[in-house]
Chain A
Amino acid sequence: MAKHSATETSKHGAHPNYWLIGIVLAILTVLELTVTSNWFVTTFNLSQALTDFLLLAFAVGKALFVVGYYMHLKFDSRIFTVMFSIGILFALLLSTTFVLLF
């Protein structure tokens, strides 16, 4: 009996450009460092709250690229996405509870 291949549950045609995604991730990391630099903060007069928001937005962007393309959730079965989303939902629920309690 043949062994099961991971790609059997994936869309076979999907073949993302991993190098390009790597470059995008590097650019987003450079942007993270840029928005926290003294030069950027003083030039654009950014508030701490806006800087923090931008940093978290860049992190979410990077995470979506990693999960979607490197972990292949964009091309794999939706059931994997649902399973992982449940974990993220529980994690967010937990963090909200902690913030409210403490």
Chain B
Amino acid sequence: MSAHTQMEHHTTLGLDHRKLGFWVFLASECVFFMSLIITFIIYSGRPQEGPTHEVLNIPLTAFNTFVLLTSSLSMVLAVDATRRGDKRQMQLWLLATILMGSFFIGVQIFEYRELMHEGLTLTSNLFGMTFYLLTGFHGAHVTFGILWLLVVFIKSFGDTFGPQNDVPVDIMGLYWHFVDLVWVFLFPIVYLIKW
């Protein structure tokens, strides 16, 4: 990185303003996802025609949940390796996170295909509409996260990240954990509880 970019990012609170700003963004994301979740809860439980909760593949989604939780572990290990200055470990865990995130999306696409064969589409009923809206927005967040991880992974081949510049990797980690956090609630709310 050039010298002119190496500047302090402190706020008057003594905190890194990028990190503080990102926490504010995550707070706004809580409101966004909660509005989708509550819409799903309100509308999915209403009497409706067509396929609903019974067509969902819970064992497959449970396995996918384990994959996403494990990707959160690999992400935090990547952040930890960055702070220790262990570039090889950082790259290894970043790659593992990318692969697990991609696997999650792959399974979600497979699940969507199966559900559409069962007759559950975006326009089939209120359950279908709210289900695809909620899980689709989460999937879009995971996809964006994978792209971001790829950028971080490619940049890690230079001397960009290390103990003195771990904030970009840390913020990436916060985003990934937040996506995992949302799924922690989506899995029981969408798949396990019958509203």
Contacts and interface: CB of A to CB of B under 8 A. Distances in A.
Contacts of B10: 4
Mostly, the B contact residues are helix
Contact of A84 (B7, B26, B70, B163): B26
Interface string A60-73: 00110011011100
B42 A32 contact: no
Interface stretch (B112-120, B129-137, B149-157, B179-187): B179-187
B6 A2 contact: yes
A29 B33 CA distance: 21
Contacts of A21: 73
B62 A33 contact: yes
A98 B39 contact: yes
Given A70-B72, A92-B34, A79 B28 contact: no
Interface in A55-102: 55-56, 58-59, 62-63, 66-67, 69-71, 77, 79-80, 83-84, 86-88, 90-92, 94-95, 98-99, 102
A20 to B, nearest CB: 10
Contacts of B72: 22, 25, 66, 70
A90 B181 CA distance: 17
Contacts of A80: 15, 19-20, 23
A39 to B, nearest CB: 15
B73 to A, nearest CB: 4
A44 interface: no
A18 B80 contact: yes
Contacts of B70: 22
Contact of A83 (B27, B83, B173, B180): B27
A40 B44 CA distance: 25
B88 to A, nearest CB: 18
B34 A95 contact: yes
B57 interface: no
Contact of A6 (B28, B166, B180): B166
Contacts of B165: 3-5
A5 B27 CA distance: 22
A63 B20 contact: no
A26 interface: yes
Nearest to B7: A1
Interface of A: 1-9, 18-19, 21-22, 25-26, 29, 32-33, 36, 48, 52, 55-56, 58-59, 62-63, 66-67, 69-71, 77, 79-80, 83-84, 86-88, 90-92, 94-95, 98-99, 102
9 contacts: A3-B167, A6-B167, A25-B69, A33-B62, A66-B181, A69-B76, A70-B177, A91-B33, A94-B38
